[in-house]
Amino acid sequence: MNFELVFIPFLGTGHLRSAVEMAKLLVERETRLSITVIILPGGEVRALSAAPNDRLRYEVISNEDQPTIDTTRPEFHIECHVPKVRCVVEKLVNDYSAKPDSPRVAGVVVDMFCTSMVDVANEFGVPSYLFYTSSAGVLTLRFHIQMLYDDNKYDVSESDYEDSEAVLDVPSLTRPFPVKCLPHAYASKQWLPTFVNQARRFREMKGILVNTIAELEPCALKFLSSGGDTPPAYPVGPLLQLENGDGAEKQSEILMWLDKQPNRSVVFLCFGSMGGFREEQAREIAVALERSGHRFLWSLRRESRNIFKEPPGEFTNLEEVLPEGFFDRTKERGKVIGWAPQVAVLANPAVGGFVTHGGWNSILESLWFGVPTAPWPLYAEQKFNAFEMVEELGLAVEIRKYWLGDLMGGTKMGLVTAEEIERGIMSLVEHDSDVRKRVKEMSEICHVALMDGGSSQTALQTFIRDVMNNIT
């Protein structure tokens, strides 16, 4: 029997790309499966690596008659598209029911921000599955906080949580988790109810595809697979888009420079699509890089005034922003750039360490290429990622233990001093460190996980089997 899944990813590039990589893997693994990916308005179709074909199709929803929405509340953006998504699914179901030997619609796979689309699946009597683009650890944290919240045992205050000495006993961790390391959303009066409600809806799913590796997060996955009231989790990562796409000319220039550097000698600094810094912080980074004496490739951008309305921009005159004479003194060993082809840079043997915002995709890419990281969290779940990678797993080095501010939370980022940054860089580039050895081992595990018989391939097969068993 042929069957079909409908994917509804969030429009953010990281979410959309990962969802398409997931869909591509599924159709490659199972010849009886076809997938329709519904692209919501704002989703970048050009950014997708997989071209449509007979078994992987894109259905792009138009932005016509779209009401003005609050871009700071993505759940409202998703909810207003429910009627259009319902029409797409209804047409799909009707078309298949009218043709003999057509595939059965076996389920709807939604992004963590698209849980309102579960109502569409319920309306047509098909199961829902969650595709979770972050770590299993963060997923477990979300379930744990939802449970505490519903039992009236969660009293984290937005005004003082960053100064709190309290800890949480999170099932995904073997050590107490400091409240001050919580993502801002879990302390925000505006965001907390939304995230709690999403976690409630996660529990309605038939299963959860997680972009992680079984060997990377065993404690979190043990909790998620303990047979409680959470759906079964399928660790199917790392899902990576290893093509860099745009910027070929700039990419060539950067890679040519890297090719001239010794192996594992360059510290790469890059902070994601929304990562930028104010002038004062940029100067502290420059001082640290100069003092460290190490080679560096630094993707530097200016902090956005409002991250929900505009991305970070370029500094108009770096000579005026950075310390006087910085470029002259570091020209033989350093390069400051704007946009960076992150995957290609991490793949280059010259790169020996990665100072990153700690987004989950960036962490998985660094592990894939065996490059140790020093997390510098800026927004979303990145504070938790930093704690998990440094404290729990020993797969990253510390720049500082606790971080103030959140670019998406509207709070000013605390200044990280040149001394702290330099200390982190020196730990990062240590060639025989335990962290570097563990990262190399985990890199090998990640590659094996995606091979036939590997843990992620096995989880993928189990998911396909369960989807077929859940067809009514």
- The percent of residues in the chain predicted with pLDDT above 90, rounded, is 82
How many C-beta atoms lie closer than 10 Å to residue 22's C-beta? 24
Do residues 135 and 111 touch, judged by C-beta distance below 8 A?
no
List pLDDT tens digits, range 440-457.
Answer: 999 999 999 999 999 999
Q: What is the pLDDT of residue 457?
A: 97
Fold of the 3-237+450-469 domain:
Rossmann fold (3.40.50)
What is the DSSP secondary structure assignment for residue 185, as one 8-state letter?
G
CB count within 10 Å of CB 230 equals 18
In this prediction, residue 462 carries a pLDDT of: 98
Residue 363's pLDDT is: 98
Question: What string of H, E and C letters represents the secondary structure of 191-235?
Answer: CHHHHHHHHHHHCCCCEEEECCCCCCCHHHHHHHCCCCCCCCEEE
Cβ-count burial 399-421 (b if 16+ within 10 Å, e if not) = bbeebebbbbbeeebeebebebb
Proportion of the chain above pLDDT 70, given as a percent: 95
Q: Where are the domains of the chain?
A: 3-237+450-469, 248-446
Residues 6+ apart with CB under 8 A from 302: 276, 277, 278, 312, 313, 314, 315
Distance CA 22, CA 374 (A): 28
Quote the CA–CA distance of 210 and 212 in Å, as a whole number: 6
Segment among 30-44, 65-79, 348-362 with least mean pLDDT: 65-79
- In this model, does residue 374 exceed pLDDT 60? yes
- Is residue 12 very low, low, confident or very high in pLDDT (cuts 50, 70, 90)? confident
pLDDT of residue 1: 86
Query: pTM of this prediction?
Result: 0.95
Based on the number of CB atoms within 10 Å of its own CB, is 395 exposed (0-12), middle (13-18) or buried (19 or more)? Answer: buried
pLDDT digits (tens, 9 = 90+) for 98-157: 888 889 999 999 999 999 999 999 999 999 999 999 999 999 999 999 999 999 999 999
Predicted confidence at residue 99, as pLDDT, reads 87
58-79 pLDDT, tens per residue?
Answer: 999 987 765 555 555 666 778 8
Q: What does the mean pLDDT of the chain come to?
A: 93
Q: In terms of CATH, what superfamily is 248-446?
A: Glycogen Phosphorylase B; (3.40.50.2000)
Q: At what angle do helices 434-449 and 360-368 cross, to 10 degrees?
A: 90
237-251 tens-digit pLDDT: 999 988 765 666 778
For residue range 265-289, what is the model confidence (pLDDT) as tens digits? 999 999 998 999 999 999 999 999 9
Structure tokens at 121: 């699946």
**According to the model, what pLDDT value does residue 62 have?**
83
Rounded average pLDDT over 311-330: 96
- The dihedral through the CA atoms of 245, 250, 252, 257 has a sign that is negative
How far is it, in rounded angstroms, from Cα 438 to Cα 154? Answer: 35
Where on the phi/psi map is residue 370: left (φ > 0), alpha (ψ -120 to 50), or beta?
A: left
